[in-house]
């Protein structure tokens, strides 16, 4: 009989399977399936901070620069980000819960014809041509109505993001490619993408992520619970520390092949290793929170604290800033600061890698 799984097994497995050996950008994207995006740069966008550990020679901005030639789409999955095109097609045609009135459908048809004629358009071009006016956005300010319409058409799968210029989305017509799968099969395939990316998963975290699929496939909201039950029944699992953990079929968290290098890594707040705050606390016994939108006086660890991983232990965090082309770290620890010369050397090496990634040490 194999030995029982332990938290040590799960911890090494979580780190080793996600932080795989750096490869090419297309291969890393295919392995991840989905990369969450965030516009903040502190010191770089979350998607770039995530990919730098997994893509050999990666530099900040590479994903946006290479996006038009990659088999990926900007889209909503469990969060907004970059998703492999076959996964993207599983989610469409998407039927949002918010129903457009006839007047809005008419505007969308007119804009769709305009985009089809132009090929690729900027929101400003659509606004200048149609003059849809302005609307109140979700945070109480004013936005161009055309911009909001384009975003709605993108979410519904009428348009796709062709590329970005200066951070702004440029749109093209999206051509629907049916997956040929039933809704049940498509939904289960999407859940498998979640499991493959975030395993090992506490059962409660799997339920949370499946609930987030309401954004990616709102048309199948009513089928999520049954899909979750089938997934829990078919995946390998074990009770560890009083928690039910699940992982992909064919994998063994206790395998000795899950080796973690002697290396420091500063991880994005949305990196797959740390995204699940529940799992983070179970594996490392302290609570990490993303505080960029927390009022400064209430922050515990800083505006954009990057979890600091040493071997397979998350032992602290670092806030990074650049001044005069020099990277300046502010490091904190969850417990007593380690007095480990090897850690200091490894942290210096990671900061040098970060500087090169940011174009400061090139």
What CA–CA distances, in Å, run from 302 to 13, 115, 278, 343?
29, 43, 20, 22
What was the pLDDT predicted at 131? 73
Backbone Cα Rg of the chain: 22
Which of 173, 193, 212 finishes a domain? 173
Exposed, middle or buried, 159 (CB in 10 Å: 0-12/13-18/19+)? buried
3-class secondary-structure state, position 328: strand
Which of 138, 173, 208 finishes a domain? 173
Six-digit token string for 267: 């991880």
**Going along 125-194, which residue ranges are E strands?**
134-136, 142-144, 159-165, 168-173
The CATH number of residue 133's host domain is 1.10.10
Question: Does residue 129 form part of some domain?
Answer: yes
Question: Does residue 148 form part of some domain?
Answer: yes
Question: Does residue 238 form part of some domain?
Answer: no
pLDDT in tens, the chain (362 residues): 566 899 999 999 999 999 999 999 999 999 999 999 999 999 999 999 999 999 999 999 999 999 999 999 999 999 999 999 999 999 999 999 889 999 999 999 999 999 999 999 999 999 989 875 555 554 444 457 788 999 999 999 999 999 999 889 999 999 988 888 999 999 999 999 999 999 999 999 999 999 999 999 999 999 999 999 999 999 999 999 999 999 999 999 999 999 998 999 999 999 999 999 999 999 999 999 999 999 999 999 999 999 999 999 999 999 999 988 899 999 999 999 888 999 999 999 999 999 999 999 54
Question: Does residue 70 form part of some domain?
Answer: no
CA 218 to chain CA mean position, Å: 19
What was the pLDDT predicted at 24? 98
pTM: 0.93
> What is the rounded CA–CA span in Å between residue 151 and residue 147?
6
What was the pLDDT predicted at 139? 44
Instruction: Label the pairing between strands 159-165 and 134-136.
Output: unpaired
Which structural domain range is residue 288 located in? 264-357
**Hey, CA dihedral for 181, 184, 189, 193, is it positive or negative?**
positive
């Amino acid at each position: 009989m194999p030995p029982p799984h332990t938290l040590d097994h799960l911890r090494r497995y979580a780190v080793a399977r996600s932080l795989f050996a750096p490869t090419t950008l297309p291969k890393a994207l295919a392995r991840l399936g989905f990369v969450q995006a965030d516009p903040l740069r502190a010191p770089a966008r979350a998607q770039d901070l995530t990919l730098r550990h997994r893509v050999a020679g990666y530099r900040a901005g590479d994903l946006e620069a290479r996006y038009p030639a990659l088999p990926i789409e900007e889209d909503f999955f469990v969060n907004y980000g970059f998703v492999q095109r076959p996964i993207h097609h599983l989610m469409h045609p998407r039927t949002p819960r918010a129903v457009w009135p006839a007047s809005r459908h008419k505007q969308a048809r007119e804009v769709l014809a305009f985009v089809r004629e132009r090929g690729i358009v900027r929101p400003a071009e659509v606004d200048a041509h149609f003059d849809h006016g302005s609307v109140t956005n979700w945070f109480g300010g004013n936005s161009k109505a055309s911009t909001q319409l384009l975003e709605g058409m993108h979410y519904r799968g009428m348009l796709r993001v062709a590329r970005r210029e200066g951070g702004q989305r440029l749109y093209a017509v999206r051509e629907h490619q049916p997956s040929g799968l039933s809704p049940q099969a498509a939904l289960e395939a999407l859940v498998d993408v979640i499991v493959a990316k975030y395993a090992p998963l506490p059962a409660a975290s799997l339920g949370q992520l499946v609930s987030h699929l309401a954004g990616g496939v709102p048309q199948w909201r009513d089928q999520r619970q049954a899909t979750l039950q089938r997934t829990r029944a078919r995946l390998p699992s074990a009770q560890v520390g009083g928690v039910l953990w699940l992982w992909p079929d064919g994998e063994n968290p206790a395998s000795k092949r899950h080796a973690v290098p002697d290396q420091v890594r500063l991880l994005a707040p949305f990196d797959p290793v740390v995204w699940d705050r529940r799992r983070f606390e179970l594996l490392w016994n302290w609570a990490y929170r993303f505080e960029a939108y927390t009022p400064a006086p209430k922050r515990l660890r800083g505006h954009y604290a990057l979890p600091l991983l040493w071997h397979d232990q998350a032992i602290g965090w670092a806030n990074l800033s650049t001044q005069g082309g020099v990277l300046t770290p502010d490091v904190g620890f969850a417990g007593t600061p380690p007095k480990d010369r090897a850690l200091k050397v490894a942290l210096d090496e990671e900061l040098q890698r970060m500087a090169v990634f940011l174009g400061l040490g090139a």
